[in-house]
Amino acid sequence: MVLLGPPGAGKGTQAEVLSKELGIPHVSTGDMLREAVKKESPVGKEAKGYMNRGELVPDDVVIKIVSSRLTDDDLKKGFMLDGFPRTVNQADKLDASLEKSDKRLDMVLFFKTSPEVSVERLSGRRVCKKCGKNYHVKNMPPKKEGICNACGGEIIQRKDDSVETVKNRLVVYEKDTRALIDYYKKKGLLREVSGDLDVDGLFQNIKKLLEKENAL
């Protein structure tokens, strides 16, 4: 499955719950790249500037890390891709890579979300520096201010969640990623949910959809 939608649509938040419900791993290119930046690996060093500016990391870099991850044993029974593909070129490469290993996509879940909601969610998002858990200052605050419920780590704001960078991420989404809606519609894989709903409302809608598709 692929989770598709603009920045702040709630893909990562839903993926965390869905991954448990479906029993398949959540593969987020954003998380993989942030980990590489933290480790200061060659990929991280190359990706850092693009990410901080809210631009896409070059296709060849991202395709390489995803292709390598897709061969891991824990993904044999299925996986949920979040944040990939983000360009038509990435989608073509994903198709080719899946075909090679006799796999295929079952569904692309598109989170239709208004730009106002994206900006409000991302400017209020906070993340744990240690374990990466997501919070929101209004919608999902931690029990104790500044401290992660899960691991006690420090809660910070992502560099690319400043209002200016968020605006640029939305421009990049429109320019490079929106085309994937038609791309997957033509393949008969696209299923749409409203990303504007609250966390539980959205989850219930996704669950209903998956039940209808016999995926649960």
Catalytic positions: 11, 86, 125, 158, 169
Cα(36)–Cα(51) distance, integer angstroms:
12
Q: Which of 11, 26, 48, 93 binds ligand AP5 (CB under 6 A)?
A: 11
Residue whose CB is less far from ligand AP5, 61 or 189: 61
The position carrying tokens 């790249």 is 33
Name the amino acid, one letter, at 85.
P
Q: Which of 26, 48, 86, 93 binds ligand AP5 (CB under 6 A)?
A: 86
Q: Is cis: bond before 85, omega within 30 of 0?
A: yes
- Considering only residues 107 to 166 of the shown chain, the ones binding ligand AP5 according to CB under 6 A are 121-122, 125, 134-136, 139-140, 160
Coil, helix or strand for 105? coil
Q: Which of 17, 24, 98, 199 binds ligand AP5 (CB under 6 A)?
A: 199
| Residues 36-55: x where in contact with ligand AP5 by CB under 6 A, - otherwise, as a string | --------------xx--xx
- Apex CA 63: angle with CA 73 and CA 75, to 5°? 15
Contact 128, 150 (CB under 8 A): yes
**Distance of closest approach, residue 44 Cβ to ligand AP5, in angstroms:** 11
- Give the residue nearest to ligand AP5 (CB): 30
Cα(130)–Cα(101) distance, integer angstroms:
34
Coil, helix or strand for 144? strand
Q: Token pair for residue 8? A: 């702040």
Q: Which of 27, 107, 202, 210 binds ligand AP5 (CB under 6 A)?
A: 202
**Distance of closest approach, residue 213 Cβ to ligand AP5, in angstroms:** 21
Count interface residues toward ligand AP5 (CB under 6 A): 36
Stretch that binds ligand AP5, among 28-36, 71-79, 95-103, 178-186 (CB under 6 A): 28-36
Q: Token pair for residue 101? A: 């290993």
Question: Taking CB under 6 A as the rule, does residue 169 contact ligand AP5?
Answer: yes
- Would you give the end-to-end CA distance of the chain in angstroms? 13
Question: Taking CB under 6 A as the rule, does residue 10 contact ligand AP5?
Answer: yes
Angstrom CA distances, 43 to 7, 28, 138, 163, 169, stand at 22, 15, 34, 26, 20
Which residues contribute to the site for ligand AP5 (CB under 6 A)? 5, 7-13, 29-30, 33, 50-51, 54-57, 62, 83-84, 86, 90, 121-122, 125, 134-136, 139-140, 160, 169, 197-199, 202
